[in-house]
Structure 1
Amino acid sequence: MVVTDAQSLIALIKEFDPSNRDQFESLKKVLEQHPNFHWVRAHYLKAVQALDPESFDKNLSHTAIATFDRELLYEFVETQTQPLKQTESKPSTKDESVVVPEENQKTVKEEIKLQPKEEEQEVNSLQSEPETMRFSEWAGYLKARKAPEKQLKLNDKFELIDSFLSKQAKIIPDKSATNKEDLSEKSWTASDELMTETLAKVFVKQKKYNNALEAYQILGLKYPEKNSFFADQIKEIKRLKKLKQ
């Protein structure tokens, strides 16, 4: 059967016979033009199994690597291969059964059996992933890693948060502290002094000497430790006041 369009390809798949040499060649030509056609590649693998058993192992590895769903490929290969057994039935004019060579049966059993791998083997499989990796290794890896992977990542995040909360340092107030100085009052006093002195300087610039004198006199009474400084300012203001007159 020659595949020329989608309809002829669908017809070939519906009438698929792994032992049909014409179908084998047709599928091979389709794959040469469309190597990533998974649907065709899976059927071609079955034809290789029946007609070219020597290259079956290689094609199985390539198909397993290229497929988008290895579990689906496993189910397809398993359901297609298990019923195909050699029988001692009488020969007929048309043999409709597909005989799997004895050598290939052994390969299929080794390739398709899903065996849980040891943890160390899974790690090595994940790191290397060679082209010739067995299909059973791919399927085992997929089964072991597919579901738990997301859950493990989520659990790791929760554990990290719990660890942070449990180890977070708590601030404990020091009850032995005895310093009860009212810093707010001290701050207010300093601010009040600054404002009054600034105001006095403004009065001087505005030539409001009486107001400036009054401001410095108040400062002198409130802060006697700075009396000498305020006294000098008062003398200077009086001098300026005389010049103005």
Structure 2
Amino acid sequence: MTRKDFYRYIDRPALLTAATLPELARIVEAFPCFHAARMLYLKNLALVGDLRLKSELERMAIHVSDRARLFLLLTDERFERSPHAADAPAHHPEADEAQGARVEPFESSASTDYLRWLTVDTPSVPSPEPKMRHQDLIDSFIAHGSERIDKHRLQRAVAEPEAVAPPPSVTPKAESTDTSYFTETLAHVYIRQKRYAKALEIIRGLSEKHPERNIYFADQIRFLEKLIEHSRNKSGK
């Protein structure tokens, strides 16, 4: 696989086939810190329906620096259509979107557009502990796509109280980062389900808990408020 081929697969993951899988596996083995190659390899496993996807995802997820992008890459079909592809049609909607400033989307595509917007503007998050809390929920969402995750499991995960005193071997800041990351991931799940009010509640809570990221969360809050207002106006017609 040449460098040109690799960049092409980054732009258009849908081009990955069973023939590219062994090549990506060799690249990942030769360059274990090459995060982009790991993400393409996992995407390739998903596209060809390889039975190794679950075990490889569990093994490699802790080595991927941007789990939010990996999460979307595996769950969102629209992520496969890059707005920078050279052979995109002249009037392709996503190519038009890439040419101008960010435009407020219609509700029909708002949730997926918002999640893609987050992958561009989200600041890098420090790598959490090797074993994420509630990893089974994220695995379940990846396995079942946009199907609704059990409501009671989500409520328990969101409402789970923080430990009063972490064990001596666990850094409190690292534990807080892990919890906040997972909570923000739950907000993304609610957005995909168009449950914007619940997502807004979670983001506001994170904003209060992390005042140093107020600007980042303020943008998300304003966006969600617009989605809620648009949804109400649409249902009132």
Specify if TM > 0.5.
no
Q: Could you say which structure has the greater relative contact order, defined with CA pairs below 8 angstroms and 6 or more residues apart?
A: 2
Instruction: Name which one, 1 or 2, has greater alpha-carbon Rg.
Output: 1
* TM-score for the superposition, normalised by structure 2: 0.37
* TM-score for the superposition, normalised by structure 1: 0.36
